[in-house]
Protein backbone atom coordinates (compact mmCIF):
# COMPACT_ATOMS: atom_id res chain seq x y z
CA UNK A 1 0.00 0.00 0.00
CA UNK A 2 1.56 3.31 -1.03
CA UNK A 3 1.98 6.29 1.30
CA UNK A 4 -0.74 8.42 -0.33
CA UNK A 5 -3.30 5.63 -0.01
CA UNK A 6 -2.40 5.12 3.65
CA UNK A 7 -2.89 8.82 4.34
CA UNK A 8 -6.24 8.83 2.52
CA UNK A 9 -7.50 5.83 4.50
CA UNK A 10 -6.33 7.35 7.78
CA UNK A 11 -8.08 10.66 7.05
CA UNK A 12 -11.27 8.84 6.08
CA UNK A 13 -11.17 6.86 9.32
CA UNK A 14 -10.66 10.01 11.38
CA UNK A 15 -13.54 11.75 9.62
CA UNK A 16 -15.75 8.73 10.23
CA UNK A 17 -14.90 8.70 13.93
CA UNK A 18 -15.56 12.44 14.18
CA UNK A 19 -18.93 11.95 12.49
CA UNK A 20 -19.91 9.19 14.90
CA UNK A 21 -18.81 11.22 17.93
CA UNK A 22 -20.78 14.24 16.66
CA UNK A 23 -23.89 12.13 16.08
CA UNK A 24 -23.65 10.65 19.56
CA UNK A 25 -23.09 13.96 21.32
CA UNK A 26 -26.12 14.89 23.41
CA UNK A 27 -27.47 18.40 23.58
CA UNK A 28 -28.74 19.33 27.01
CA UNK A 29 -32.17 20.97 27.03
CA UNK A 30 -33.56 22.57 30.17
CA UNK A 31 -36.67 24.52 31.08
CA UNK A 32 -34.73 27.60 30.01
CA UNK A 33 -35.36 26.36 26.45
CA UNK A 34 -39.13 26.14 27.04
CA UNK A 35 -41.68 28.66 25.79
CA UNK A 36 -45.08 29.27 27.39
CA UNK A 37 -47.23 29.78 24.31
CA UNK A 38 -50.28 31.98 24.95
CA UNK A 39 -49.18 32.01 28.57
CA UNK A 40 -52.09 34.19 29.68
CA UNK A 41 -54.48 31.30 28.88
CA UNK A 42 -52.91 29.09 31.55
CA UNK A 43 -54.46 28.58 35.00
CA UNK A 44 -51.65 30.55 36.62
CA UNK A 45 -50.44 33.13 34.06
CA UNK A 46 -46.83 34.29 34.34
CA UNK A 47 -46.14 32.70 37.73
CA UNK A 48 -46.70 29.13 36.54
CA UNK A 49 -44.12 29.40 33.76
CA UNK A 50 -41.73 31.73 35.58
CA UNK A 51 -41.61 29.67 38.77
CA UNK A 52 -41.14 26.51 36.71
CA UNK A 53 -38.02 28.07 35.19
CA UNK A 54 -39.27 28.70 31.66
CA UNK A 55 -36.93 30.86 29.63
CA UNK A 56 -39.66 32.28 27.38
CA UNK A 57 -43.18 33.60 27.99
CA UNK A 58 -45.66 34.95 25.44
CA UNK A 59 -48.53 37.43 25.77
CA UNK A 60 -50.87 38.67 23.02
CA UNK A 61 -51.82 42.33 23.27
CA UNK A 62 -54.52 44.72 22.12
CA UNK A 63 -54.88 48.44 22.84
CA UNK A 64 -57.87 49.76 24.77
CA UNK A 65 -58.04 53.39 25.93
CA UNK A 66 -54.27 53.75 25.76
CA UNK A 67 -53.52 50.56 27.71
CA UNK A 68 -52.14 47.21 26.60
CA UNK A 69 -54.68 44.48 27.22
CA UNK A 70 -53.80 40.78 27.19
CA UNK A 71 -56.11 38.46 25.24
CA UNK A 72 -56.13 36.04 22.32
CA UNK A 73 -59.12 37.70 20.70
CA UNK A 74 -60.77 41.08 21.14
CA UNK A 75 -63.92 39.47 22.57
CA UNK A 76 -61.83 37.99 25.39
CA UNK A 77 -60.55 41.33 26.71
CA UNK A 78 -61.25 41.89 30.41
CA UNK A 79 -60.53 45.14 32.33
CA UNK A 80 -58.16 43.57 34.88
CA UNK A 81 -56.09 41.64 32.33
CA UNK A 82 -53.62 44.33 31.39
CA UNK A 83 -50.01 43.67 30.36
CA UNK A 84 -48.95 45.79 33.33
CA UNK A 85 -50.91 43.78 35.88
CA UNK A 86 -50.18 40.34 34.44
CA UNK A 87 -46.56 40.64 33.31
CA UNK A 88 -44.79 43.96 33.82
CA UNK A 89 -45.40 44.41 37.56
CA UNK A 90 -44.64 40.74 38.38
CA UNK A 91 -41.44 40.90 36.32
CA UNK A 92 -40.25 44.02 38.11
CA UNK A 93 -40.65 42.24 41.45
CA UNK A 94 -39.18 38.92 40.34
CA UNK A 95 -36.13 40.21 38.45
CA UNK A 96 -35.20 42.48 41.35
CA UNK A 97 -34.93 39.45 43.61
CA UNK A 98 -33.82 36.74 41.14
CA UNK A 99 -30.58 38.41 40.16
CA UNK A 100 -29.35 35.57 37.93
CA UNK A 101 -32.61 34.92 36.14
CA UNK A 102 -32.96 35.56 32.41
CA UNK A 103 -36.22 35.65 30.47
CA UNK A 104 -37.48 36.21 26.95
CA UNK A 105 -40.81 38.07 26.89
CA UNK A 106 -42.62 37.69 23.58
CA UNK A 107 -45.26 40.32 22.95
CA UNK A 108 -47.59 39.31 20.13
CA UNK A 109 -49.11 42.29 18.31
CA UNK A 110 -52.76 41.56 17.57
CA UNK A 111 -53.62 44.94 16.02
CA UNK A 112 -51.80 47.69 14.10
CA UNK A 113 -48.19 48.08 15.26
CA UNK A 114 -48.47 51.85 14.84
CA UNK A 115 -50.88 51.80 17.79
CA UNK A 116 -49.19 49.14 19.91
CA UNK A 117 -45.48 49.90 19.63
CA UNK A 118 -45.58 53.33 21.36
CA UNK A 119 -47.58 51.79 24.21
CA UNK A 120 -45.10 48.91 24.56
CA UNK A 121 -42.16 51.32 24.74
CA UNK A 122 -43.93 53.42 27.36
CA UNK A 123 -45.34 50.61 29.54
CA UNK A 124 -42.10 48.62 29.68
CA UNK A 125 -40.05 51.52 31.03
CA UNK A 126 -40.03 50.03 34.58
CA UNK A 127 -38.15 47.02 33.18
CA UNK A 128 -35.33 48.94 31.50
CA UNK A 129 -32.85 48.19 34.29
CA UNK A 130 -33.01 44.54 33.22
CA UNK A 131 -33.31 44.84 29.44
CA UNK A 132 -30.65 43.95 26.89
CA UNK A 133 -29.64 47.22 25.19
CA UNK A 134 -27.36 47.85 22.20
CA UNK A 135 -26.30 44.22 22.08
CA UNK A 136 -25.07 44.30 25.67
CA UNK A 137 -26.06 41.46 27.99
CA UNK A 138 -29.33 41.89 29.78
CA UNK A 139 -31.55 39.59 31.78
CA UNK A 140 -34.77 40.53 30.00
CA UNK A 141 -35.08 40.11 26.24
CA UNK A 142 -38.20 41.70 24.81
CA UNK A 143 -39.18 40.23 21.46
CA UNK A 144 -41.99 41.59 19.31
CA UNK A 145 -43.89 38.96 17.36
CA UNK A 146 -47.14 38.73 15.40
CA UNK A 147 -47.89 41.81 13.28
CA UNK A 148 -44.36 43.22 13.47
CA UNK A 149 -43.30 46.41 11.68
CA UNK A 150 -41.79 46.03 8.19
CA UNK A 151 -38.03 45.55 7.85
CA UNK A 152 -37.38 49.16 6.81
CA UNK A 153 -38.83 50.40 10.11
CA UNK A 154 -37.05 48.10 12.57
CA UNK A 155 -34.22 50.57 13.16
CA UNK A 156 -36.76 53.17 14.30
CA UNK A 157 -37.32 51.33 17.57
CA UNK A 158 -35.18 51.19 20.75
CA UNK A 159 -32.39 48.63 20.65
CA UNK A 160 -33.79 46.79 23.66
CA UNK A 161 -36.55 45.57 21.35
CA UNK A 162 -35.88 42.74 18.92
CA UNK A 163 -38.25 40.99 16.54
CA UNK A 164 -39.58 37.55 15.72
CA UNK A 165 -40.44 36.83 12.07
CA UNK A 166 -41.30 33.85 9.85
CA UNK A 167 -38.81 34.30 7.01
CA UNK A 168 -35.20 35.31 6.33
CA UNK A 169 -35.68 37.02 2.99
CA UNK A 170 -35.70 40.72 2.22
CA UNK A 171 -33.57 41.87 5.16
CA UNK A 172 -30.37 43.87 4.93
CA UNK A 173 -27.49 42.82 7.16
CA UNK A 174 -28.31 45.67 9.54
CA UNK A 175 -32.02 44.82 9.63
CA UNK A 176 -31.25 41.17 10.29
CA UNK A 177 -29.40 42.19 13.44
CA UNK A 178 -32.74 43.24 14.92
CA UNK A 179 -34.18 39.75 14.36
CA UNK A 180 -33.57 37.48 17.36
CA UNK A 181 -36.00 34.64 16.68
CA UNK A 182 -37.61 32.87 13.73
CA UNK A 183 -41.04 31.29 14.32
CA UNK A 184 -42.58 29.02 11.69
CA UNK A 185 -45.96 27.37 11.32
CA UNK A 186 -45.19 23.67 11.77
CA UNK A 187 -48.14 22.72 9.54
CA UNK A 188 -46.41 24.23 6.50
CA UNK A 189 -43.79 21.51 6.75
CA UNK A 190 -45.50 18.54 8.35
CA UNK A 191 -48.89 16.96 9.04
CA UNK A 192 -47.44 14.88 11.87
CA UNK A 193 -49.82 14.60 14.85
CA UNK A 194 -47.32 13.67 17.54
CA UNK A 195 -47.57 9.86 17.39
CA UNK A 196 -45.11 7.50 15.77
CA UNK A 197 -42.34 9.11 13.74
CA UNK A 198 -42.20 12.08 11.40
CA UNK A 199 -41.89 10.89 7.80
CA UNK A 200 -38.51 11.04 6.08
CA UNK A 201 -39.76 13.59 3.57
CA UNK A 202 -41.20 15.88 6.26
CA UNK A 203 -38.11 15.48 8.42
CA UNK A 204 -35.99 16.67 5.49
CA UNK A 205 -38.24 19.73 5.06
CA UNK A 206 -38.02 20.58 8.76
CA UNK A 207 -34.26 20.12 8.88
CA UNK A 208 -33.92 22.33 5.83
CA UNK A 209 -35.62 25.30 7.48
CA UNK A 210 -33.91 24.65 10.83
CA UNK A 211 -30.49 24.59 9.17
CA UNK A 212 -31.22 27.77 7.23
CA UNK A 213 -32.09 29.60 10.45
CA UNK A 214 -29.06 28.27 12.28
CA UNK A 215 -26.80 29.17 9.36
CA UNK A 216 -28.08 32.74 9.73
CA UNK A 217 -27.04 32.65 13.39
CA UNK A 218 -30.62 32.79 14.68
CA UNK A 219 -32.85 30.71 16.95
CA UNK A 220 -35.93 28.85 15.77
CA UNK A 221 -39.24 27.72 17.20
CA UNK A 222 -42.38 26.23 15.64
CA UNK A 223 -46.02 26.92 16.43
CA UNK A 224 -49.15 24.89 15.64
CA UNK A 225 -47.22 21.84 16.81
CA UNK A 226 -48.28 18.61 18.52
CA UNK A 227 -47.95 19.18 22.25
CA UNK A 228 -46.89 15.95 23.98
CA UNK A 229 -43.76 14.10 25.10
CA UNK A 230 -43.26 12.41 21.74
CA UNK A 231 -43.37 15.77 19.98
CA UNK A 232 -41.09 17.50 22.48
CA UNK A 233 -38.53 14.72 22.11
CA UNK A 234 -38.77 14.93 18.32
CA UNK A 235 -38.16 18.68 18.32
CA UNK A 236 -35.15 18.25 20.56
CA UNK A 237 -33.82 15.61 18.16
CA UNK A 238 -34.30 18.02 15.25
CA UNK A 239 -32.39 20.76 17.04
CA UNK A 240 -35.28 23.19 17.54
CA UNK A 241 -34.01 25.88 19.90
CA UNK A 242 -37.22 26.91 21.64
CA UNK A 243 -39.80 24.25 22.57
CA UNK A 244 -43.28 25.75 22.83
CA UNK A 245 -46.20 24.41 24.83
CA UNK A 246 -49.62 25.14 26.28
CA UNK A 247 -48.85 22.54 28.98
CA UNK A 248 -46.39 24.38 31.18
CA UNK A 249 -46.25 21.94 34.08
CA UNK A 250 -45.93 18.85 31.88
CA UNK A 251 -43.21 20.23 29.60
CA UNK A 252 -41.30 21.57 32.60
CA UNK A 253 -41.37 18.18 34.29
CA UNK A 254 -40.40 16.43 31.05
CA UNK A 255 -37.34 18.63 30.53
CA UNK A 256 -36.28 18.44 34.17
CA UNK A 257 -36.54 14.63 34.18
CA UNK A 258 -34.73 14.36 30.85
CA UNK A 259 -31.95 16.64 32.04
CA UNK A 260 -31.45 14.61 35.24
CA UNK A 261 -31.14 11.39 33.23
CA UNK A 262 -28.57 12.89 30.85
CA UNK A 263 -26.45 14.26 33.68
CA UNK A 264 -26.36 10.90 35.48
Q: Residue 260: its pLDDT value, please?
A: 77
Q: What is the DSSP letter of 25?
A: P
Interacting residues of 221 by C-beta distance below 8 A, sequence separation 6+:
35, 181, 182, 183, 184, 240, 241, 242, 243, 244
Q: In the chain, what are the domain boundaries?
A: 31-259
Segment 116-125 shows an average pLDDT of: 98
Q: Residue 12: its pLDDT value, please?
A: 34
Report the run of H or E that residue 107 belongs to, with start and end: strand 103-109
Strand partners, 70: 61
| Angular region, 38: left φ>0, alpha ψ -120 to 50, beta rest | left
- pLDDT-derived band at 134 (thresholds 50, 70, 90) equals low
Q: What share of the chain in percent tops pLDDT 70?
A: 88
Residue 140 sits at φ, ψ, to 5 deg, of -120, 125
CB burial of residue 263 (10 Å; 0-12, 13-18, 19+): exposed
Q: What is the DSSP letter of 227?
A: -
Report the run of H or E that residue 93 belongs to, with start and end: helix 89-97
Does the pLDDT at position 102 exceed 80? yes
Homologous superfamily in CATH for domain 31-259? Phosphatidylinositol (PI) phosphodiesterase (3.20.20.190)
Q: How far apart are CA 242 and CA 211, in angstroms?
A: 14
Q: Residue 67: its pLDDT value, please?
A: 97
Q: What is the DSSP letter of 131?
A: B
In whole numbers, what is the pLDDT of the chain averaged over residues?
89
List pLDDT tens digits, range 61-77.
Answer: 999 999 999 999 999 99
CA 180 vs CA 23, 62, 232: distances in Å: 27, 23, 22
Amino acid sequence: MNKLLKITITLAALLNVASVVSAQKKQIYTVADAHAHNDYANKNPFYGAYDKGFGSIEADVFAVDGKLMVAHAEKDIKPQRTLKNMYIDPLVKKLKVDTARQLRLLIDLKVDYHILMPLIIKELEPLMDYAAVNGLPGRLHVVITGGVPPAVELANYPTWLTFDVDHLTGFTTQQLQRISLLSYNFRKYSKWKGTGKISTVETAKLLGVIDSVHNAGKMIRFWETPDNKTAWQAFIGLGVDVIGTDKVEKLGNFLNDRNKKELN
